Structure 1
Amino acid sequence: MSSISGLYSPLPQSISDSDSEREFHMDSLCPPNTRFNENVSDRKGYSKHGPYNKQSQDQLPNMMEAKVIKPQMSTTRKLTFIMSIILCFLPIVIFLWVLPCDADTCPVKVLNWETQQEDVEMKGKINLFFERFKKHFNLAVQYKGDSNSQEILKHGVISLLGNNGEVNWYFRQPTIPQNLDCSLIDVDSDGIRDCLLLDEKGLKAVEVVSGQTVWHVHSHEERTLVENLQFPAVLKDFNHDGVDELMSIYQQKYFMIICGRTGKALCNIIVNECNQVEELQTTGDYVGFHCVNDTVTYLQIQISEIKRKYFNSSHMLNFVKFNLSTSDTNIFRLDQYKLNIENFGTCPDCHSYLKLLSDHDKVIYTKVYNKSHIINPSKFKFGVNAFSAKKHIKGFIVKVWQWHYKFSPKYSSNDLFTSRKDVLNNTNYGNYITERIILITLNDTDYNVVEASTTNITQLCFHTESDFVSCQPDFKNQEYSILIADLDRDGSQELIYYSSSFYLRENVIGNPWQLISTIKLLKLESELPKLYNSKETFGMYPNY
């Protein structure tokens, strides 16, 4: 006897007992067995194993149906997923394009440095200009070659890297440079201002990144170079080429308009009111100059008048007399303080006088230096919280040259000075000089005088055929030898200064004297506190 058992299908393992109460919907797990259904209908409700309920067969597919519900991401999960993908690629981007850099593109920090250059005497002011990527400043300084040297290209301009003092480029020429300014004009429109260099051969523009000549002032026909020029002033663009123009004094009689882009002389404007024209400078919308006749007067003219004359040669210029005060040329002001400097005599028979005054011209410090010349000071001023030691956050830096005694230098038979010595009856000599760097720091209540450094200088002198004494190094070349600036643009200030001297070399065939210039950079705000541990003076004469 056969037993009748119900037909069943096993549940998938992915469906648990707790899932049986859920509603599922899916296609039948098994295809319908048509042969089985035919047998059932033929046997009138009986299966092979016993009676079969047709209704249960109709319900079987419904039992095997299942519904799959696909879960959807929430907005938060989507954002998190996207951010995870971005974070996967971010390190790759950083290491490939952000972190890699070289010496030209990486941010730099300026540290203390010192460098020496042989056979040059640095002169004039220290010029600053942007390096290629404008991350820090580089330096450019004029120099005069060694008077003993027979080289032709021994004068020119040297550029140093501001971050470490290494040589950036040399611009060599046979003539001694007279003036250099790298802050006036961008002649090639590359976004970096270029240097204007003046010498007895004329005016030229030097590109600051490469140290190459861009142009030399030349005639309109481009046939000859223009000489007998004075250092120019900058005028707004006249010919609409995108670069400002320059105006210089030509042959002490004319205003010459020069194209800033090409260096071509555009026009000459004669100044009939003066026998000579000197010291051109711009002040706001005016151009001023010294007019030399029987007396010297200071005249001004509007730049718009110059422009009108440029486009209309028949236009008459209208000069205005201006009273130029010269009473304060030796007084340097810093907030409520004044520093008065006076130099007397011809060195080494000279002396100098330094006087510090506070409010209402009250004298608070004086010092007389015998056989000395004081060079024009530089001013500095720190932020309120930049320098806390004694709260001296402003002041002056002064350079003093003090002569000691003469000596007779030794020369070999083929030295240039020796030939002069033979002809001029032993008139060559040397001077021993001490160069002092004096810091005068101030606040609202007191002052401090510190001798920051001393340097021994050997100066060699000779008489020319016109009985003019020429000495090297010359204190006149030191007038702008101190600069205070922020080279790396980090908010702190650096002190840059240079000096030159001859040094005696032992066991050298030929000229034993070598001219060396030294230029130094100090982080002023970090180095200044150290100076307070050295010799200093409060409210009394310093004992130098």
Structure 2
Amino acid sequence: VGNTGEVGWFTREKRIPTQINCNLIDVNKDRQKDCLVVGTEGLLATLNALSGTHYWHVNKNGNVSTDIAAIDFPLIVNDTDSDGVLDLLTIGTVYPNTNHNELLLISGANGNIIGGPLVIPECTSVKLLPEATFITYLCKNGPAEAVRQILYPHLLKKLSANHGSEVPLPKKANLSLKKNIGNTRTEYSNGPGKLIVENEGECPNSCRVNLTLVLEQNGSNNVTWEYTANHVFAMAPSSFSFPNSIRGFVIKL
């Protein structure tokens, strides 16, 4: 919790969570954003940000999907199944395919796979990139890499119809891909609270993380919580706030 540093809730997954964001989707339409969690062995789930209660795990017609070997953190897309909740587009490795090149369209309301999997045949590995008008992705095939684009409405129509096994012919895109390397210090604000995230070194051998929670009170900044650990890397946190003035951060280490 942002103003005290206390643990607001705790939940355990059978698979290892690797990414979480609590600012993207409102699963139950209560006007409060919920947490989207992705992890190893195809983990994709949503939780109530206030209580930690699960809403759903990715499934096929109500049965938890066990044939997804790996899944990326999804992009939020328009509501394609008309249930009033935004949907999710992601890339997965789906048995028996061993390539990470299949598009999945997932209902944001219940986690049901409503489109795909659709194979991108010219790529052995695919990574979606956030763009507005186009679905943009990084296509890898051996040592070769290329950025491709597919028209957004065209792809969603094809996915939601489950029509065919391959995506439309993509367009080449001219984008610059950058990767930041080195020690970082980033500040994240949420109302009167500020979380300072410092990563240094190289994991897993020499990395180190420092987390500092600062609360502004009566014009002065007070450190209310600190955390330091070796061989640990902190991801970018998500912030949350509720009408009862509870604010805080969710962070994956």
Q: Could you tell me the TM-score, scaled by structure 2's length?
A: 0.70
SS in 2 for 1:169: coil
Q: Find runs of 4+ consecutive structure 1 residues off by over 3 angstroms.
A: 223-226, 397-403, 430-437, 455-459, 485-489, 494-500
Q: 1:185 aligns with which of 25, 28, 32?
A: 25
Q: Do structure 1's residue 236 and structure 2's residue 44 form an aligned pair?
A: no
Q: Does the residue aligned with 1:175 lie in a helix, a strand or coil?
A: coil
Aligned equivalent of 1:399? 198
> Aligned partners of 1:317, 1:218: CA distance in 2, in Å?
25
**Which residue in 1 is equivalent to 2:133?**
285
Q: 1:302 to 1:200 in 2, by over 3 A?
A: same
In 2, Cα distance between the equivalents of 1:243 and 1:497? 22
The verdict on how the C-alpha distance between 1:300 and 1:402 changes in structure 2, with shifts beyond 3 A counting, is closer
RMSD: 3.9
Question: Cα distance, 1:219 vs. partner?
Answer: 1.9
Task: Measure how far apart 1:287 and its partner are.
Answer: 1.6
1:222 aligned partner, one-letter code: N
| Corresponding position of 2:145 | 296
Q: Displacement, 1:273?
A: 2.3
Show the counterpart of 1:33. none
Judged with a 3 Å threshold, the aligned counterparts in structure 2 of structure 1 residues 487 and 195 are, in CA distance, closer, same or farther, namely closer
The Cα of 1:226 is off from its aligned counterpart by 4.9
| Aligned position for 2:173 | 322
Between structures 1 and 2, the one with greater helix share = 1
| Structure 1 residues 139-538: aligned runs within 5 Å | 161-201=1-41, 202-220=43-61, 222=63, 224-227=65-68, 228-251=70-93, 252-268=100-116, 269-277=118-126, 279-294=127-142, 295-309=144-158, 310-311=160-161, 313-314=163-164, 317-326=168-177, 329-330=179-180, 343=182, 374-375=183-184, 377-378=185-186, 399=198, 401=200, 459=230, 473-474=231-232, 477-480=233-236
Q: Which protein is richer in strand relative to its size?
A: 2
Letter in 2 for 1:320: K
SS of residue paired to 1:189: coil
- Structure 2 residue runs of 5 or longer lacking an equivalent are 94-99, 190-195, 213-222
Moved more, 243-252 or 221-230: 221-230
**Compared CA separation, residues 379 and 210, structure 1 to 2 (3 A):** closer
Give the Cα–Cα distance (whole angstroms) in 2 for the partners of residues 256 and 220 of structure 1: 14
Q: 1:299 and 1:212, CA in 2 relative to 1: closer, same or farther beyond 3 A?
A: same
- Computing the radius of gyration from Cα coordinates, the structure with the larger value is 1
Counting matched residue pairs gives 218
- Calculate percent identity across the aligned residue pairs: 24
- Residue of structure 2 in register with 1:371 after alignment: none
> Residue 478 of structure 1: CA displacement?
2.6
Higher-RCO chain (CA-CA 8 Å, sequence separation at least 6): 2
Q: Does the CA-based 8 Å contact 1:231-1:280 persist in structure 2?
A: no
Structure 1's unaligned 5+ residue stretches are: 1-160, 331-341, 344-373, 382-396, 404-429, 438-451, 460-472, 501-544
Structure 1 SS opposite 2:81: coil
> In 1, are the aligned partners of 2:15 and 2:39 still within 8 Å (CA)?
yes
User: Counterpart of 2:156 in 1: which secondary structure?
Assistant: helix
Normalising by the residue count of structure 1, what TM-score does the alignment of the two structures yield? 0.35
For the 8 Å contact 2:88–2:107, the answer to whether it is kept is yes
Cα offset for 1:218? 1.1
What secondary structure is seen at the aligned counterpart in 2 of 1:266? Answer: strand
* Distance in structure 2 (CA, Å) of the matches to 1:259 and 1:497: 23
Matched residue type, 1:266: I
Letter in 2 for 1:283: E
Deviation at 1:300? Answer: 1.5
Q: Distance in 1 between matches of 2:209 and 2:105?
A: 45
8 Å contact kept, 1:431–1:458:
no
**Cα separation, partners in 2 of 1:480 and 1:263, compared to 1, 3 Å:** closer
What is the Cα deviation at residue 488 of structure 1?
9.2
